[in-house]
Chains A and B, each alone.
Chain A
Amino acid sequence: MHNKKGENNNSGNHIPWRTRGFFFEDYEMPKYEYEQQSRFSEVKLSLNKVSFIFFIFLVIAFVFGSKIIYLASIKKENYFTNKLAPSVFLKRQDILDRNNNLLAKNVKLYSAAFKPHFITNKGKLLINLKLIFPSIDIDKIKKKIEIGKYFYIKKRLNKSEWKKLWLLGDKSIDLNEKQFRVYPHESLFSHVLGQIDDDNSGISGLEKSFNEKLTESKKPLVLSLDANLQHIIREELISGNSIFQTLGSAALLMEIDSGEILSLVSLPDFDLNERKNIEDPIYLNKITKGVYELGSVFKTFTLAAGIESKLIETNTLFKDLKNQIICGGMPISEHVKLPTNLTAEEILVRSSNIGAIRIAQKIGVKNYRKFLNSLELFEKINFELEEIGTPLPFKWGKCTLETASFGHGITTTPLQLTKAYAIIGNGGYNINPTILLNKNISLQNNKQIISLKTSKTINSMLRKVVLNKKGTASLADKKGYEVGGKTGTARKAINGIYNKEKKINTFVSLFPISKPKYVLLVMLDEPKSAPDFVYEFSNGYKLKGETRNTAGWNAVVVAGNIIEKIGPILATNNLQASNKL
């Protein structure tokens, strides 16, 4: 192991072994070099280890770092709603009115149920139950326990009841958390909102038609309805029902430009919080589902068709109008004795049946039919609720034109009638009634069905129906609100025969008529005459002992009262009042 180079190494001068010449001895590794090499490889190895460990730490740091960034960057809403928010608030969204008043809400409540197989001391348990729920029927509970099937003791427990049951610590009592739908306005919106079943699925009304949206959306459903207006209208209808002893009544208030429904009331109604199986037809939604012959309210369309087709004008005189005619073997007469000569305007103001027939005959079946179809009165309307009535089909046979001219022999829903009046009032533009709040509705984009001139002419005529002393709706003349409208008294057909006593009385009004903004329909089902009621006219004249029960003596009164009360809320410009002061 000794050589020349080795000496140099010993002297401390380092000469790299690779630069040396080839010697046999080189095959043997010098000790020093061997040590150097092994150290070098050790360092190399340990450096690799360090970089590996460093890499692992880096990965871990990156993972945690990215988690921190993730937690910091995510939106709180998503984080909470997706992972941690209690599911009870996600099952079904709230329903709000146009002023954000709550109409329906899901709440978390407890239900108490029995698991009969786990009962150990039946007697003690029943005594405890009686103490907690004094009104409970113990015999009924006993029978159910004997059957041995799982059953509910009480749903919607209050906090104290839940606590008392929980403190019993009985295995057989199952306190399960459930969500229930609560309706703070009770019966106010019953026909609109509808009901849900035990599994929180809508079974009627908006709850059914918007079931998907309510269960999947993160936002509440906002309606165009107004709770305050709805309450006032409902109260007035209830008052009208008691005065005129009706079977039921309904009202619809709609914006004529947008088609947004501000109020939809149908009486009788029901409390949505008390789940009931409603089968009695009296509870049907009279506005959307009810299909009726609505009578003289159709005369407005007859006049509009005549004016639109330029066959008649306001002052067109119709001579020799008989008090009764026979059509298809059936007599058609006036509701009161009227003059034999009437202008087109007077025909509407005084609601002449024979006059309306003469106008319709002048228009002809084809044109008249086309006009009514353009108002979509006889098709099923496209509306958000499930409960929609389909007008009864009819043939334009002999006498159909004559009877249709004054609203008999043809049927439609009050919703469609209101829509048609809105079209007449808004300048002739088509609208689609809606129950959802929609701020982006532009009337000008809609199809124009009748001309602006016809619309204005009809509006002025409708005003005269209310303003004129001989008009049929003078009781609706409320100072400042410029009410215009048309009455309709239709006899109910029972088993194919028109009943003289049973009537459907309707009044459709537009206000303020100089520039109509709202259309209000009031319908009374089988109103009776009210001889004890004091009728008050706008000129201060009072009348008592009236025995007639046509629309002018009941539906008009109710509508007038409604307009007088909702007018200030709607902020209708009360022109007469402002001029006076």
Chain B
Amino acid sequence: MRNVLILITLISGLIFTSLIKNKTRLLEKELLYLDNEINILSSDLSEASLDFHYLTTPKRISLLAKNFLNEDFMHYKESQINKSIKPKKDLTVLKKLKNDHIFSQLSTSEFINKKTNFTKEIESEQLLIVKKIDSQKPQKSKKIINSKKAQQWMGIQIIKALLGIPTIPFE
């Protein structure tokens, strides 16, 4: 019995040791392999980031913008923005809105008159805008079935009927 125990201990010791050793070696190999992979990837990343940083330097971007963009995005003055906002009518409405506090200084009757005139003006402006939008809206495209398509469909249905295939109702 003792001999058996000794033998089992010996063999199991041998097996466990070799197993642990092999496992360690495999782990180490895997680590080395992963490490190499990481190194390659980090080196690639480093090169790619360098490329990225070079390609996105302000100097290069402004050069590309100068060569390939029609618009000048560099600088726009406030006065130029004002000019681009026009038509004049919209601007006058905006100005009146801005000077709304003036109304508060006027007498109540004047204030009501001005206010009603002003609201009428805005309404008329709104109407104009709505009309403009309506005129610019594209008409809903109706489904127009031309004769050729109808003929084709009819032909297919006849053939289907002859062959005994159920026909699909026309939409």
Interface residues of A (CB under 8 A from B): 43, 46-47, 50, 53-54, 57, 60-61, 64-65, 67-68, 71, 79-80, 84-86, 89, 101-102, 105, 107-108, 182, 184-186, 188, 227-228, 230-232, 235, 479-480, 540, 564-565, 577, 580
Contact = CB atoms under 8 A, between A and B. Distances in A.
A67 B31 CA distance: 13
B17 A227 contact: no
Contact of A102 (B3, B24, B49, B62): B49
Contact of A231 (B32, B43, B47, B58): B58
Interface residues of B, number: 38
Nearest to A568: B75
Contact of A57 (B13, B24, B27, B75): B13
B151 to A, nearest CB: 62
Closest A-B pairs by Cβ, 10 of them: A231-B58, A57-B13, A102-B53, A184-B54, A64-B20, A184-B53, A50-B6, A84-B35, A64-B24, A60-B17
A57 B47 contact: no
Given A61-B17, A71-B28, A184-B50, 4 more contacts: A53-B9, A68-B24, A86-B43, A565-B74
B53 A68 contact: no
B16 interface: yes
Contacts of B16: 57, 61
A68 B39 contact: no
**Helix, strand, loop or mixed for chain B's interface?**
helix
A70 B53 CA distance: 39
B59 interface: yes
B43 to A, nearest CB: 7
Contact of A53 (B13, B24, B46): B13
Interface string B65-85: 000000000110011000000
B16 to A, nearest CB: 6
Contacts of A60: 17, 21
A50 B39 contact: no
Contacts of B122: none
Given A50-B9, A54-B13, A57-B17, A185 B24 contact: no
A64 B17 contact: yes
Given A68-B23, A102-B49, A231-B62, A185 B38 contact: no
Contact of A185 (B20, B57, B79): B57
Nearest to A580: B78
6 contacts: A53-B9, A64-B24, A71-B27, A86-B39, A89-B46, A232-B58
A16 B95 CA distance: 126
B38 A480 contact: no
A67 B17 CA distance: 13
A564 B24 contact: no
